[in-house]
Protein backbone atom coordinates (compact mmCIF):
# COMPACT_ATOMS: atom_id res chain seq x y z
CA UNK A 1 0.00 0.00 0.00
CA UNK A 2 1.46 3.31 -1.06
CA UNK A 3 0.46 6.95 -0.82
CA UNK A 4 -0.86 7.61 -4.31
CA UNK A 5 -1.75 11.30 -4.23
CA UNK A 6 1.81 12.54 -4.35
CA UNK A 7 4.52 13.38 -6.83
CA UNK A 8 7.18 10.73 -7.34
CA UNK A 9 10.22 10.77 -9.58
CA UNK A 10 9.54 8.40 -12.47
CA UNK A 11 12.87 8.88 -14.23
CA UNK A 12 15.69 11.24 -14.93
CA UNK A 13 14.85 13.44 -17.90
CA UNK A 14 17.75 11.93 -19.77
CA UNK A 15 16.22 8.45 -19.62
CA UNK A 16 13.19 9.38 -21.70
CA UNK A 17 13.27 9.98 -25.44
CA UNK A 18 11.14 9.86 -28.57
CA UNK A 19 12.80 6.79 -30.10
CA UNK A 20 12.46 4.02 -27.56
CA UNK A 21 9.72 3.67 -24.94
CA UNK A 22 10.93 3.24 -21.37
CA UNK A 23 9.17 0.59 -19.27
CA UNK A 24 9.12 1.14 -15.51
CA UNK A 25 7.00 -0.30 -12.75
CA UNK A 26 5.96 2.41 -10.28
CA UNK A 27 3.79 1.83 -7.19
CA UNK A 28 3.21 -1.72 -8.49
CA UNK A 29 1.85 -0.48 -11.83
CA UNK A 30 3.48 -0.88 -15.20
CA UNK A 31 4.12 2.50 -16.79
CA UNK A 32 5.59 3.34 -20.18
CA UNK A 33 7.41 6.66 -20.60
CA UNK A 34 8.26 8.35 -23.88
CA UNK A 35 8.47 11.76 -25.54
CA UNK A 36 6.38 13.17 -28.33
CA UNK A 37 8.32 14.40 -31.38
CA UNK A 38 7.99 17.89 -29.82
CA UNK A 39 9.81 16.62 -26.74
CA UNK A 40 6.95 16.47 -24.28
CA UNK A 41 7.33 13.58 -21.83
CA UNK A 42 4.34 11.28 -21.49
CA UNK A 43 3.43 8.45 -19.12
CA UNK A 44 0.84 5.83 -20.03
CA UNK A 45 -0.28 2.58 -18.49
CA UNK A 46 2.03 -0.06 -19.98
CA UNK A 47 -0.71 -2.50 -20.95
CA UNK A 48 -2.58 -2.36 -24.21
CA UNK A 49 -6.28 -2.38 -23.41
CA UNK A 50 -6.94 -4.72 -26.33
CA UNK A 51 -5.17 -7.92 -25.29
CA UNK A 52 -2.88 -6.68 -22.51
CA UNK A 53 0.48 -6.78 -24.27
CA UNK A 54 3.01 -4.28 -22.86
CA UNK A 55 2.97 -1.09 -24.93
CA UNK A 56 6.62 -0.53 -24.08
CA UNK A 57 7.50 -3.17 -26.68
CA UNK A 58 5.77 -1.01 -29.28
CA UNK A 59 6.87 1.61 -31.79
CA UNK A 60 6.86 5.36 -31.37
CA UNK A 61 5.25 7.19 -34.27
CA UNK A 62 4.67 10.89 -34.85
CA UNK A 63 1.29 10.94 -33.15
CA UNK A 64 1.52 8.12 -30.67
CA UNK A 65 2.72 4.74 -29.47
CA UNK A 66 1.69 1.71 -31.52
CA UNK A 67 1.32 -1.68 -29.87
CA UNK A 68 3.65 -4.28 -31.31
CA UNK A 69 1.04 -7.02 -31.12
CA UNK A 70 -2.03 -6.00 -33.13
CA UNK A 71 -1.09 -2.45 -34.02
CA UNK A 72 -3.46 -0.38 -31.85
CA UNK A 73 -2.06 3.16 -31.64
CA UNK A 74 -2.49 5.39 -28.58
CA UNK A 75 -1.90 9.13 -28.42
CA UNK A 76 -0.29 11.03 -25.54
CA UNK A 77 -3.61 11.15 -23.66
CA UNK A 78 -3.99 7.36 -23.84
CA UNK A 79 -6.75 7.48 -26.45
CA UNK A 80 -6.70 4.82 -29.15
CA UNK A 81 -6.40 6.59 -32.51
CA UNK A 82 -5.89 3.62 -34.83
CA UNK A 83 -7.27 0.07 -34.82
CA UNK A 84 -5.92 -1.72 -37.88
CA UNK A 85 -8.75 -3.37 -39.78
CA UNK A 86 -11.48 -1.53 -37.90
CA UNK A 87 -12.96 1.84 -38.82
CA UNK A 88 -14.94 2.68 -35.66
CA UNK A 89 -12.89 3.00 -32.51
CA UNK A 90 -14.95 2.57 -29.33
CA UNK A 91 -14.43 5.35 -26.79
CA UNK A 92 -13.60 2.71 -24.17
CA UNK A 93 -10.53 1.78 -26.20
CA UNK A 94 -8.00 3.76 -24.20
CA UNK A 95 -5.27 3.33 -21.65
CA UNK A 96 -4.72 5.37 -18.53
CA UNK A 97 -2.41 8.34 -18.78
CA UNK A 98 -0.63 9.80 -15.77
CA UNK A 99 0.11 13.47 -15.03
CA UNK A 100 3.82 13.91 -15.69
CA UNK A 101 5.83 17.07 -15.09
CA UNK A 102 9.39 17.67 -16.23
CA UNK A 103 11.27 19.91 -13.85
CA UNK A 104 14.89 20.24 -12.73
CA UNK A 105 15.89 17.47 -15.19
CA UNK A 106 13.54 15.07 -13.42
CA UNK A 107 10.24 13.53 -14.54
CA UNK A 108 7.67 13.69 -11.74
CA UNK A 109 4.65 11.41 -11.98
CA UNK A 110 1.32 11.50 -10.17
CA UNK A 111 -0.23 8.04 -9.70
CA UNK A 112 -3.28 9.20 -7.71
CA UNK A 113 -6.44 11.07 -8.69
CA UNK A 114 -5.45 13.20 -11.70
CA UNK A 115 -7.62 16.15 -10.65
CA UNK A 116 -5.48 16.57 -7.53
CA UNK A 117 -2.20 16.76 -9.43
CA UNK A 118 -0.85 20.26 -8.78
CA UNK A 119 2.68 20.93 -10.08
CA UNK A 120 3.24 23.68 -7.51
CA UNK A 121 3.46 20.90 -4.94
CA UNK A 122 6.62 19.41 -6.46
CA UNK A 123 9.70 19.75 -4.28
CA UNK A 124 12.16 22.34 -5.56
CA UNK A 125 15.34 20.67 -6.81
CA UNK A 126 16.53 23.58 -8.90
CA UNK A 127 20.19 23.07 -7.87
CA UNK A 128 20.25 19.96 -10.07
CA UNK A 129 22.77 20.75 -12.83
CA UNK A 130 22.25 24.49 -12.19
CA UNK A 131 25.03 26.95 -13.07
CA UNK A 132 27.60 27.01 -10.26
CA UNK A 133 26.33 23.66 -8.96
CA UNK A 134 28.36 20.82 -10.47
CA UNK A 135 26.13 17.81 -9.93
CA UNK A 136 26.67 14.10 -9.55
CA UNK A 137 23.67 11.83 -9.81
CA UNK A 138 22.78 8.18 -9.90
CA UNK A 139 20.19 5.44 -9.74
CA UNK A 140 20.06 2.37 -7.51
CA UNK A 141 17.60 -0.50 -7.78
CA UNK A 142 16.77 -1.73 -4.32
CA UNK A 143 15.38 -5.09 -3.19
CA UNK A 144 13.69 -3.44 -0.24
CA UNK A 145 10.55 -1.52 0.70
CA UNK A 146 11.10 2.23 0.35
CA UNK A 147 10.35 2.81 4.04
CA UNK A 148 13.42 0.82 5.06
CA UNK A 149 15.47 3.21 2.94
CA UNK A 150 13.63 6.15 4.49
CA UNK A 151 14.48 4.81 7.96
CA UNK A 152 18.11 4.73 6.94
CA UNK A 153 18.14 8.31 5.67
CA UNK A 154 16.38 9.56 8.78
CA UNK A 155 18.84 8.10 11.26
CA UNK A 156 22.43 9.15 10.76
CA UNK A 157 23.64 7.15 13.75
CA UNK A 158 24.31 4.40 11.19
CA UNK A 159 27.01 6.45 9.44
CA UNK A 160 29.67 5.44 11.93
CA UNK A 161 29.02 1.73 11.39
CA UNK A 162 27.95 1.41 7.77
CA UNK A 163 30.10 4.07 6.11
CA UNK A 164 33.50 3.80 7.74
CA UNK A 165 35.47 4.91 4.71
CA UNK A 166 33.08 7.50 3.27
CA UNK A 167 30.59 9.36 5.41
CA UNK A 168 31.59 8.27 8.90
CA UNK A 169 32.21 10.73 11.64
CA UNK A 170 32.54 9.28 15.11
CA UNK A 171 30.47 12.05 16.59
CA UNK A 172 27.33 11.00 14.73
CA UNK A 173 25.80 8.58 17.24
CA UNK A 174 25.89 11.28 19.91
CA UNK A 175 24.92 14.15 17.64
CA UNK A 176 21.16 13.99 17.92
CA UNK A 177 19.45 16.20 15.39
CA UNK A 178 16.90 18.80 16.32
CA UNK A 179 13.58 17.65 14.87
CA UNK A 180 11.18 20.35 13.70
CA UNK A 181 7.72 19.57 12.40
CA UNK A 182 6.69 21.23 9.16
CA UNK A 183 3.81 20.99 6.76
CA UNK A 184 4.21 17.81 4.73
CA UNK A 185 7.09 16.33 6.67
CA UNK A 186 9.80 17.13 9.16
CA UNK A 187 13.04 19.07 9.29
CA UNK A 188 16.21 17.86 10.94
CA UNK A 189 19.04 20.10 12.04
CA UNK A 190 22.37 18.74 13.14
CA UNK A 191 25.58 20.59 13.81
CA UNK A 192 28.92 19.19 14.94
CA UNK A 193 31.53 21.77 15.77
CA UNK A 194 35.27 21.28 15.79
CA UNK A 195 35.24 17.71 14.49
CA UNK A 196 37.31 15.64 12.09
CA UNK A 197 35.66 15.89 8.69
CA UNK A 198 34.25 12.69 7.23
CA UNK A 199 36.47 11.21 4.49
CA UNK A 200 34.06 12.51 1.83
CA UNK A 201 33.93 16.06 3.18
CA UNK A 202 37.69 16.13 3.69
CA UNK A 203 38.27 15.11 0.08
CA UNK A 204 35.56 17.31 -1.42
CA UNK A 205 36.43 20.44 0.56
CA UNK A 206 40.19 19.89 0.83
CA UNK A 207 40.06 20.67 4.51
CA UNK A 208 43.40 20.51 6.30
CA UNK A 209 42.16 20.43 9.88
CA UNK A 210 39.01 20.25 11.91
CA UNK A 211 35.70 21.53 10.63
CA UNK A 212 32.35 22.76 11.77
CA UNK A 213 29.81 20.51 10.12
CA UNK A 214 26.09 20.84 9.48
CA UNK A 215 23.09 18.96 8.16
CA UNK A 216 19.94 20.87 7.36
CA UNK A 217 17.58 18.19 6.19
CA UNK A 218 13.96 17.88 5.20
CA UNK A 219 11.79 14.87 4.65
CA UNK A 220 8.93 15.66 2.28
CA UNK A 221 6.20 13.06 2.37
CA UNK A 222 6.09 10.48 1.09
CA UNK A 223 9.65 9.99 -0.02
CA UNK A 224 11.79 12.99 -0.86
CA UNK A 225 14.82 13.48 1.35
CA UNK A 226 16.74 16.70 1.11
CA UNK A 227 20.11 16.99 2.80
CA UNK A 228 21.77 20.37 2.74
CA UNK A 229 25.04 19.33 4.28
CA UNK A 230 28.42 20.96 4.50
CA UNK A 231 31.58 21.74 6.37
CA UNK A 232 33.67 24.83 6.92
CA UNK A 233 36.98 25.38 8.74
CA UNK A 234 36.33 25.10 12.45
CA UNK A 235 36.05 28.12 14.63
CA UNK A 236 34.49 30.92 12.58
CA UNK A 237 31.65 33.20 13.58
CA UNK A 238 27.98 32.56 12.96
CA UNK A 239 26.23 29.39 11.85
CA UNK A 240 28.55 27.22 9.74
CA UNK A 241 26.21 27.10 6.73
CA UNK A 242 26.22 30.89 6.48
CA UNK A 243 29.97 31.32 6.59
CA UNK A 244 32.11 31.91 3.52
CA UNK A 245 34.55 29.24 2.41
CA UNK A 246 32.17 26.39 3.15
CA UNK A 247 31.61 23.17 1.22
CA UNK A 248 27.91 22.83 0.32
CA UNK A 249 26.08 19.67 -0.71
CA UNK A 250 22.49 20.08 -1.85
CA UNK A 251 21.73 16.42 -1.90
CA UNK A 252 18.36 14.85 -2.71
CA UNK A 253 17.43 11.21 -2.32
CA UNK A 254 14.27 10.58 -4.31
CA UNK A 255 12.58 7.26 -3.56
CA UNK A 256 9.87 5.76 -5.71
CA UNK A 257 8.30 2.45 -4.73
CA UNK A 258 8.49 -0.11 -7.51
CA UNK A 259 6.69 -2.90 -5.64
CA UNK A 260 6.10 -3.74 -1.98
CA UNK A 261 9.61 -5.15 -1.86
CA UNK A 262 11.59 -3.12 -4.39
CA UNK A 263 12.37 0.56 -4.83
CA UNK A 264 13.73 2.95 -7.42
CA UNK A 265 16.30 5.18 -5.74
CA UNK A 266 17.27 8.33 -7.64
CA UNK A 267 19.81 10.68 -6.13
CA UNK A 268 21.29 14.00 -7.11
CA UNK A 269 24.24 15.68 -5.47
CA UNK A 270 24.69 19.34 -6.51
CA UNK A 271 27.82 20.76 -4.87
CA UNK A 272 29.52 24.07 -4.27
CA UNK A 273 33.23 23.71 -3.59
CA UNK A 274 35.10 26.28 -1.52
CA UNK A 275 38.24 25.82 -3.64
CA UNK A 276 36.42 26.35 -6.94
CA UNK A 277 37.86 23.23 -8.56
CA UNK A 278 34.71 21.64 -9.93
CA UNK A 279 36.57 18.60 -11.24
CA UNK A 280 36.19 17.17 -7.73
CA UNK A 281 32.57 16.39 -8.58
CA UNK A 282 33.50 13.02 -10.13
CA UNK A 283 35.19 11.85 -6.94
CA UNK A 284 32.21 13.06 -4.91
CA UNK A 285 29.87 11.04 -7.15
CA UNK A 286 32.02 7.95 -6.70
CA UNK A 287 32.06 8.46 -2.95
CA UNK A 288 28.28 8.67 -2.84
CA UNK A 289 27.94 5.56 -4.96
CA UNK A 290 30.26 3.65 -2.64
CA UNK A 291 28.40 4.83 0.44
CA UNK A 292 24.98 4.02 -1.02
CA UNK A 293 26.15 0.55 -2.00
CA UNK A 294 27.07 0.07 1.67
CA UNK A 295 23.53 1.09 2.67
CA UNK A 296 22.00 -1.20 0.09
CA UNK A 297 24.02 -4.14 1.42
CA UNK A 298 22.68 -3.80 4.96
CA UNK A 299 19.13 -2.72 4.03
CA UNK A 300 18.54 -5.57 1.59
CA UNK A 301 19.79 -7.98 4.25
CA UNK A 302 17.38 -6.36 6.71
CA UNK A 303 14.52 -6.80 4.22
CA UNK A 304 15.43 -10.48 3.86
CA UNK A 305 15.23 -10.99 7.60
CA UNK A 306 11.89 -9.18 7.73
CA UNK A 307 10.52 -11.31 4.89
CA UNK A 308 11.30 -14.41 6.92
CA UNK A 309 9.93 -13.13 10.21
CA UNK A 310 7.09 -10.75 9.28
CA UNK A 311 5.61 -10.91 12.77
CA UNK A 312 8.72 -9.58 14.56
CA UNK A 313 8.62 -5.89 15.52
CA UNK A 314 11.69 -3.66 15.94
CA UNK A 315 12.53 -2.49 19.44
CA UNK A 316 12.89 1.27 19.76
CA UNK A 317 16.10 3.20 20.33
CA UNK A 318 16.42 6.91 21.03
CA UNK A 319 18.00 7.40 17.62
CA UNK A 320 14.75 6.29 15.94
CA UNK A 321 12.97 9.54 16.84
CA UNK A 322 12.99 11.05 13.35
CA UNK A 323 12.19 7.90 11.44
CA UNK A 324 9.32 7.11 13.77
CA UNK A 325 7.88 10.58 13.20
CA UNK A 326 7.91 10.02 9.46
CA UNK A 327 6.44 6.53 9.83
CA UNK A 328 3.58 7.99 11.86
CA UNK A 329 2.98 10.68 9.23
CA UNK A 330 2.98 8.10 6.43
CA UNK A 331 0.58 5.83 8.30
CA UNK A 332 -1.73 8.76 8.87
CA UNK A 333 -1.63 9.74 5.21
CA UNK A 334 -2.35 6.16 4.17
CA UNK A 335 -5.33 6.06 6.50
CA UNK A 336 -6.61 9.32 5.06
CA UNK A 337 -6.28 8.02 1.52
CA UNK A 338 -8.07 4.84 2.53
CA UNK A 339 -10.91 7.08 3.73
CA UNK A 340 -10.96 8.92 0.42
CA UNK A 341 -9.12 12.01 1.59
CA UNK A 342 -5.88 13.22 0.04
CA UNK A 343 -3.78 15.27 2.39
CA UNK A 344 -0.16 15.09 1.36
CA UNK A 345 0.28 17.96 -1.04
CA UNK A 346 1.60 21.10 0.54
CA UNK A 347 3.75 23.64 -1.22
CA UNK A 348 7.27 22.69 -0.22
CA UNK A 349 9.26 25.70 0.94
CA UNK A 350 13.01 25.48 0.68
CA UNK A 351 15.50 26.82 3.13
CA UNK A 352 18.46 28.94 2.14
CA UNK A 353 17.13 29.78 -1.30
Q: Is the Cβ of residue 86 or residue 335 nearer to a copy of itself in the bound state?
A: 86
According to the binding rule CB under 8 A, does residue 290 interact with a copy of itself?
A: no
What 3-state class would DSSP assign to 112?
Answer: coil
Q: Which of 103, 129, 176, 243 binds a copy of itself (CB under 8 A)?
A: 176
According to the binding rule CB under 8 A, does residue 174 interact with a copy of itself?
A: yes
Q: Which of 18, 105, 286, 302 binds a copy of itself (CB under 8 A)?
A: 302
According to the binding rule CB under 8 A, does residue 145 interact with a copy of itself?
A: no
Closest CA to 49 of 97, 111, 93, 98: 93
Q: State the Cα–Cα distance between residues 111 and 16, nearest whole angstrom.
A: 18
84-93: list long-range contacts, CB under 8 Å, 24+ apart. 92/49, 93/49, 93/50
Are 251 and 267 spatial neighbours (Cβ–Cβ below 8 Å)? Answer: yes
According to the binding rule CB under 8 A, does residue 165 interact with a copy of itself?
A: no
Q: Which of 39, 40, 139, 161 binds a copy of itself (CB under 8 A)?
A: 161
Q: State the Cα–Cα distance between residues 276 and 289, nearest whole angstrom.
A: 23
Q: What are residue 11's DSSP bridge partners?
A: 107
According to the binding rule CB under 8 A, does residue 14 interact with a copy of itself?
A: no
According to the binding rule CB under 8 A, does residue 92 interact with a copy of itself?
A: yes
Q: State the Cα–Cα distance between residues 143 and 145, nearest whole angstrom.
A: 7
According to the binding rule CB under 8 A, does residue 83 interact with a copy of itself?
A: yes
Q: Which of 180, 283, 317, 328 binds a copy of itself (CB under 8 A)?
A: 317
According to the binding rule CB under 8 A, does residue 47 interact with a copy of itself?
A: yes
Q: Which of 118, 245, 314, 349 binds a copy of itself (CB under 8 A)?
A: 314
According to the binding rule CB under 8 A, does residue 96 interact with a copy of itself?
A: no
What 3-state class would DSSP assign to 262?
Answer: strand
Are 299 and 148 spatial neighbours (Cβ–Cβ below 8 Å)? Answer: yes
According to the binding rule CB under 8 A, does residue 52 interact with a copy of itself?
A: yes
With a CB cutoff of 8 Å and minimum separation 6, the contacts of 329 are 185, 186, 221
Q: x/- contact string, 257-286, with a copy of itself (CB under 8 A)? A: ------------------------------
Going by their DSSP bridges, the two strands 97-98 and 224-233 should be labelled as: unpaired
Stretch that binds a copy of itself, among 112-120, 177-185, 207-215, 313-321 (CB under 8 A): 313-321
Q: Which of 1, 37, 40, 70 binds a copy of itself (CB under 8 A)?
A: 70
According to the binding rule CB under 8 A, does residue 157 interact with a copy of itself?
A: yes
Q: Residue 20: which H helix or E strand, with range?
A: none
According to the binding rule CB under 8 A, does residue 189 interact with a copy of itself?
A: no
Q: Residue 338: which H helix or E strand, with range?
A: helix 321-338
Q: What are residue 79's DSSP bridge partners?
A: 94
Cα→Cα distances 292→89, 154, 159, 276, Å: 49, 14, 11, 26
Stretch that binds a copy of itself, among 31-39, 127-135, 190-198, 297-305 (CB under 8 A): 297-305
**Which spans of this chain sit near a copy of itself (rule: CB under 8 A)?**
28, 30, 46-47, 49-54, 57, 66-72, 83-86, 90, 92-93, 151, 155, 157-158, 160-162, 173-174, 176, 297-298, 301-302, 304-306, 308-309, 312, 314-315, 317-320
Amino acid sequence: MFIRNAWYVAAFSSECNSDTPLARTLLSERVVLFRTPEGRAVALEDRCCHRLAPLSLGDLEADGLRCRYHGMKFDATGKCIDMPGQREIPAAMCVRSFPLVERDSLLWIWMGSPELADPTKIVDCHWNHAPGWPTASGYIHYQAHYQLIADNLLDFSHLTFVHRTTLANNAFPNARPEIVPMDGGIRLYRQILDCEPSPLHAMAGRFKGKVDFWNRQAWWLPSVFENWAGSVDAGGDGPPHERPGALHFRHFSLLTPETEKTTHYFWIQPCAFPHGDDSVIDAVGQGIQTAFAEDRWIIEAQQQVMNESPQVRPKPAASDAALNRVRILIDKALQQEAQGRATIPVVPVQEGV
